[in-house]
A and B are shown apart, each in its own frame.
Chain A
Amino acid sequence: MPSTDTLFNQRIDSRRRRGKVMAGVLFVCTILGLVVLATLIVDVVLTGAPWLSREFITGFPRSTAEASGIWPAIIGSLYLMLVVAAVAVPLGVGAALYLEEYARDNWLARLIQININNLAGVPSVVYGILGLGVFVYLFGFGNSLLAAGLTLSLLVLPIIVISSQEAIRSIPQGVRESAYALGATRSQVIWSHVLPIAMPGILTGVILSLSRAVGETAPLVLVGAALAINFTPAHLLDEFTAIPMLIFQWTEEPGVAFRELAAAAIIVLLAFLILTNLTAILLRNYLEQERSA
């Protein structure tokens, strides 16, 4: 039988080599991000860890690094997150439900959709200016927890809307149809099926957006969050500070000590984020199990 090999110039070695090079390049791409992150964390932990102490966690900002603590910022960040969760989550999930389950596919719905997508890309400093103009001055909330919380809510609202929409859209149409076919109204279908099934996906978006809100600095600077205060906010219209604000301030201070203190604050912030994410993930897993049980 005549060989067909002569018809092809297969260059198998060079093709194989090319494949190997490709795999190598892609691996470097992957590992680079990880290396940078690891370096950052190692550096921060090495610098900040010696400063972590009970006094640091429960103390108040002072004029010396040795005497300073982060307590009002922890409480401030926690309250901020609660405001965002209370405002942005219901608004965002509500908007997503409306867009997916009620709105007809007309020019208005498309206009709203395009705007939401664009809002997700607006820099946070712009939201800060908006918050300063609207919440601080126009509504007269002052440099308060409420003004900052509402500003951060606006900032994360598009993220919550978009991720909730995706979660709702991924529900097979068959579930809705079979519920309607049993004589269910739209709201019954939504409460009994759409929301429970979409909940894990919605929570993923909520985790992301809360983390984003807690880490933001620029909008807080603009709405005038305090830098160093020696009290924890007592009500929504009180002044406050947050962990990113203290990090921001302490890195500006002269002397090595405050910069090391900032590293310690970063560790606290990271721990804070991990804790919130963990809570949300556990909640999500619980809901997923509940659903399949």
Chain B
Amino acid sequence: MADAKADPQRKPSSSEASSPQTSSPAASNSTASGTGNAPTRKAVPEAPRTLTPGPRQGPQPKTKIEVKDLQFWYGDTHAIKGVTMNIPAHQVTAFIGPSGCGKSTVLRCLNRMNELIPDTRMEGTIRVDEQDIYADEADPVMVRRRIGMVFQKPNPFPKTIYKNITWGAKINGYQGDYEALVEESLRKAALWEEVKDRLHTSAYNLSGGQQQRLCIARALAVKPDILLMDEPASALDPIATAKLEETIVELKQDYTIVIVTHNMQQATRVSDRTAFFYVGELVEMGDTEMLFTRPSDEKTDAYISGRFG
């Protein structure tokens, strides 16, 4: 268990020169911060990283999502100004940045949800498993089944717990056993034990944290391989948040997860890689520990040390 506070190597006093460059192509065009900034930085990840099981070793995981020169407009507002990034498979990638920086917009481009918003325009390519999800022959409905999403506010359907989970499978013509699907999805979302005796009661009777885990179970029931989460814990209390984070870390065994968060501690607790966005651009992306202790860009440094945002 690596503790940021206990490790002298990661103290601000450590020399900037030794900080290795991140592998992200976007990070290369941003200048590394001078050493003069280093003493003013406060190391943010003070919480013990108890959730992430051990540091990763071995070969770099393969790229799951490949974003190339993504541009996005809301009407005349140029919200995303050229984002290029690779999101690795079976890892948790966190998107951080101040409000309005475009992190949610990028996330919603990854499963073509932004198309539902009128008067918007997108350029660039997004490939998932080397398939262009915006190609003419790619159907957004098919894309969204493979790339699930959990939203900021828990939003279960006004139906029973059971039907919340089976609905997505049903509309996609699921051929398997529905009972088993419900149990499997709820188990993966760490909710089964709490609700197994009341599957046929309204989902609205669950607590906020349980509702959010139900939303995860609901998303898992259509068998996606990517899970996008848009500030999933922002409406939850600390205990429910901890439980949710635990679930997220569990899930990365089977899924590639991208999570947008306002909470930097959360990013350090759950993610393997972190991308920092600022006014529509990807400023820096890299290993989470690295990004929070030795950011290569001044803006990242300023943001993670709480000087703006």
Contact = CB atoms under 8 A, between A and B. Distances in A.
Q: Do A and B bind each other?
A: yes
A178 B151 contact: yes
B160 to A, nearest CB: 7
For chain A, the bracket of interface size reads 20 to 34
A104 B155 contact: no
A230 to B, nearest CB: 52
Contact of A197 (B149, B158, B171): B158
A182 B149 CA distance: 8
Interface string A81-121: 00000000000000000000000110000000000000000
Given A105-B118, A293-B202, A178 B172 contact: no
Contacts of A105: 118-119
A188 B151 contact: no
Nearest to A185: B141
Contacts of A292: 158, 202, 204
Contact of B168 (A174, A184, A293): A184
B149 A181 contact: yes
B248 interface: no
Contact of A174 (B146, B155, B204): B155
A183 interface: yes
A293 B118 contact: no
Contact of A188 (B142, B171, B204): B171
Max chain B Cβ within 10 angstroms of own Cβ: one of A104, A172, A188, A197: A188
Max chain A Cβ within 10 angstroms of own Cβ: one of B119, B141, B148: B141
B118 A182 contact: no
Contact of B148 (A182, A185, A192, A196): A182
Interface in B129-171: 141-142, 144-146, 148-149, 151, 153, 155, 157-160, 167-168, 171
B195 interface: no
Interface stretch (B20-28, B38-46, B214-222, B288-296): B214-222
A105 B111 CA distance: 24
B157 A174 contact: no
B203 to A, nearest CB: 10
A193 interface: yes
Contact of B111 (A181, A192, A193): A181
A174 B155 CA distance: 6
A293 B148 contact: no
Interface string A170-192: 00101111111111110010001
A181 to B, nearest CB: 4
A291 B146 CA distance: 28
B158 A178 contact: no
Contacts of B171: 182-185, 188, 192
Interface string A36-68: 000000000000000000000000000000000
Contacts of A192: 167, 171
A110 B164 CA distance: 36
A109 to B, nearest CB: 11
A183 B222 contact: yes
Interface string B174-211: 00000000000000000000000000001010000000
Contacts of A188: 171
A193 B172 CA distance: 15
Contacts of A175: 155, 157-158
B178 to A, nearest CB: 15
Contacts of B118: 104-105
6 contacts: A180-B144, A181-B111, A182-B144, A184-B168, A184-B171, A188-B171
Given A178-B155, A181-B113, 19 more contacts: A105-B118, A175-B155, A175-B158, A178-B149, A178-B157, A178-B215, A180-B113, A182-B145, A182-B148, A182-B167, A182-B172, A183-B144, A183-B171, A183-B222, A184-B171, A185-B171, A197-B158, A292-B202, A292-B204
List of 9 A-B pairs having minimum Cβ-Cβ separation, nearest first: A183-B145, A182-B168, A174-B155, A181-B149, A183-B144, A188-B171, A291-B158, A178-B155, A184-B171
